[in-house]
A and B are shown apart, each in its own frame.
Chain A
Amino acid sequence: MNAAAPGEALLEARGLTRMFAGLAAVQELSFGVAPGAIKAVIGPNGAGKTTLLNLLSGFIEPSAGEIRFGGARIDAIPAHARVGRGMARTFQNLQVFGRMTALENVMVGRHVRSRAGYFAGLLSTPASRRETEAARAAALAALARVGLERRAHTEATDLSFGELKLLELARALASEPRLLLLDEPAAGLALAETDRMAGVIREINARGVTVVLVEHNMRLVMSISHDILVLNFGRRIAEGSPEAVQAEPAVIEAYLGRDDDA
C-alpha cells in the first residue's frame, strides 16, 4: 500500500456529501486526519457523525466527494476490503457476535490477516490450522490490550455492556488497523468505565494507531483528542484544537441549551 508522504493526511475527505431523501446528512465536508492523531468528531444529535463514519468505512456510498486513505482513493472500495487496507471501526449500537465467545469474536477480527478459504478449512490443512493458532494468540493479545483477557472464554452474551464495548474495540484492533473509527465508545458507560476506555484509546494511539473518535462525552473528548471537528446539520462549523473549538462562538451556539452528559 502506498504510504502517506510526510506531513500528508492519513485520511482525507474532500467535498464529501451524503443525501437522504433530499436532505443532506453530510454536506460538502472537507477535512484531514494527520497520521498518529486522535481526531474527535462532535456535534449535536443528528449532526451527521455516524453518517460520516459510515461513509469513511464504506458502509454507505457518498452522493458526492472523495475519500483518500494513505494517499489512495478508496471511495469505490467495498467496506470489507477497506479493513484489509488498515481501516477498522466500531458501532454506536453494539454489534457483537452473540453466539461466540469473546475470544472467538476477536478471532473474527483476524479475518483479513489470514487467508484460509473453504477448501483449506474443510480439509483442515496445516496452513489453516497454523492460522487458527496464530489468530488465537493475536486475539488473546488484543483482549489483553483492552483488559478483557480473563473473559476470553465467556460467551459474548454473558458480558456486561461495558465489557462488550471493550470487546468491539479489541476485535477492531485485531485486524491491525492504521486507522480506527470509533462511534461513541463511551456511550452508556459509567464514569469509571469511561476513564478506562479513555486509557485504552490513548494506549492504542500511543502505539501508532490513528483514531477518529465520534463522542458526546465532552470530558472524554477534551481529555484525549488532539484535534476536533465540529459538525452541525452535516456541515463543519468549527475545527481545531480542543481549546480553540471550545472558544468558538458557533460551537457554543450549537450546543446552547443542550444539557450534554459531559
Chain B
Amino acid sequence: MAEPDPSRGARRSYAALGAVWALLLLFPLAAPNNFVLNLGISWFISLALAGSLNLLMGYAGQISLSHAAFYGLGAYASGVLSAKFGVSPWLGLCAAIALTAAAAFLIGWPSLKLRGHYLAMATLGFNVIMSVMFVELRGLTGGPNGLVGVPSLSLFGWEIGADIRFYLFAWVVVGLMMLLILNLLHSRMGRALRALSTSELAAKANGIDVHAVKLGVFVLSAVMAGIAGFLYVHLNNFASPENFDFVASVMLLVVVALGGTGTYWGPFLGALLHVVLPEALRAFSDFEILVYGISLVLVLLFFPAGLSGAVARLGRLVGRGGGR
C-alpha cells in the first residue's frame, strides 16, 4: 500500500490532534459529575505517561522499567518542596524537571553505552531504589502513609482546584506535550531515533551518534514523566509510594503495548484502558496485574500492532468504499 506523501501525512496528524483536542473541550460538558471529570484528568496524566514512554520504547526501541519512578520523582520533588518547605509549586516543577533529567542522565549515560538490555536492567534497579527512598525517607515523603498536605496549584492568584479548572490546565499542558512529541517525530531527531530502533549499525553508518540520541530521548521521556508526576501530586494534594513502584512501571509498558507501540495514537487508546480498566475491575483489584497480563497476551495475539493497529485496520476496511 503506497503511503501518501509524508508531509501531507504530517499535516493530517496535526489536524487530527487539533480535532481531538478541541473535542476534549466538550468532555466536561458531557461529564455528569466530578468523578467522571476526574477520570478525564486521569486520562490526560496517563496519556502524558504513555506518550512519553512510547517515544522511548515504541519509536526509539529502548525498554525502560522505571517510567513510574520518574513519574514519582517528579511528584515527590514538587510535592515535598511545596508541602514541607513552602516552595512555590512552579519552582517545584523546575525541580521536578531538573531532578528527573539528572537522574535519567546518570542512569542512561553508562547503561546506553553498552549494547543489549542494560537500560532495562539499570532502570529496573533504579525503580526499586526509588521505591525504597519514597518509603524510607519518612521525614520528607511521609513514608508508606504517603505525602499529605501538598498545595494545589494557583496561577495569577487563581487556584487550580480538582475540577473543571484542573481539567483545563491538564488539557493545556498535556496538549502541548503531545504537540511537542508530534513535532519531534517529524524532525531530524525523530527520524534518527526511529532509525536506530531498527538498525543501530545503519544509524551509525548514517552519521547518527547513537549513544547521544538514545540518551537524549531517555532524558526527554523521563522529564515528561516527571511533569506528569507534578500534575498528579498537585491534583490529588497527595502522593503515595505504591503508585510509583516497579509494578506501575510494568503496567505502563503494558499500556503502551496495548495501545500500539510506535504509533502516535496508540497511547491515546492505551491511556484510556489505563484509566477505565481499574474502574471496571474494581472487584478484582487484587488481580489487576493478572488481568493486565492476560489482556496484553490476548491483544498481542489478535492485534499484534495494538489497539491503534486494530483501529487502523478497521478504518481501512471501512474506508475502502470512498478512499483511493
Contacts and interface: CB of A to CB of B under 8 A. Distances in A.
A104 B191 contact: yes
Interface size classification for chain A = 35 or more
16 contacts: A59-B201, A80-B203, A80-B206, A83-B205, A95-B201, A95-B205, A108-B191, A111-B191, A112-B206, A115-B188, A122-B184, A122-B220, A124-B183, A133-B7, A155-B3, A171-B202
A88 interface: yes
Given A79-B205, A153-B2, 6 more contacts: A84-B207, A100-B198, A105-B195, A111-B207, A116-B189, A132-B187
Contact of B198 (A90, A97, A133): A97
Interface of A: 57, 59, 78-81, 83-84, 88-91, 95-101, 103-105, 107-112, 114-118, 120-124, 128, 131-133, 135-136, 153-155, 158, 168, 171-172, 175
Contact of A121 (B184, B203, B207, B262): B184
Of listed B3, B187, B262, residue having the most chain A CB within 10 A: B187
A66 B316 CA distance: 56
Contacts of B4: 153
Nearest to B202: A95
A57 B195 contact: no
B195 A100 contact: yes
Nearest to B180: A122
State the majority secondary structure of interface residues on B. helix
A111 B199 CA distance: 15
Contacts of B1: 158
A89 B205 contact: yes
Nearest to A99: B198
Interface string B188-223: 111110110111011111111110000011001000
B256 to A, nearest CB: 16
B183 A153 contact: no
Given A121-B190, A123-B183, A128-B187, A101 B202 contact: no
